[in-house]
Amino acid sequence: MMNEREINQNREMEKERANLVENNKYLIMTFKNADGKSTSISLKYIKDVLTKAEVDACMQSIITNNIFFTTGGDLVSTYKAQIINKQTTTLQE
């Protein structure tokens, strides 16, 4: 049998799961590679509140740690970052 603390934790986890399903935001981070071409990384299920400083730090960490490689070479600089809100309207089922 679960105690009150465990019940509350389960409720919070269910709320978080519901938020992930309803969240239609995407973070698109665009970088320049060694050839000077743009390349993007798209992430879904981002936090509701995401600051410019957090995104800048993430992008810089990706470059510094050289964790992605493109056909145009390593990522060498940040170019832009965008949060896209996607809304779907069903017209017919």
- DSSP one-letter string for 27-44: EEEEEEETTS-EEEEEEE
Tens-digit pLDDT profile for residues 6-19: 888 877 777 665 55
**DSSP one-letter code for 45:** S
Torsion region of 45: left, alpha or beta (phi above 0 gives left; psi -120 to 50 gives alpha): left
For the chain, domain boundaries? 24-85
Query: Model pTM?
Result: 0.69
The pLDDT of residue 92 is 73
Task: Give CA–CA dist 62/43, Å, rounded.
Answer: 14
Cα-only R_g, the chain? 18
Task: Give CA–CA dist 14/21, Å, rounded.
Answer: 11
**Looking at the predicted structure, is the pLDDT value of residue 22 above 70?**
no
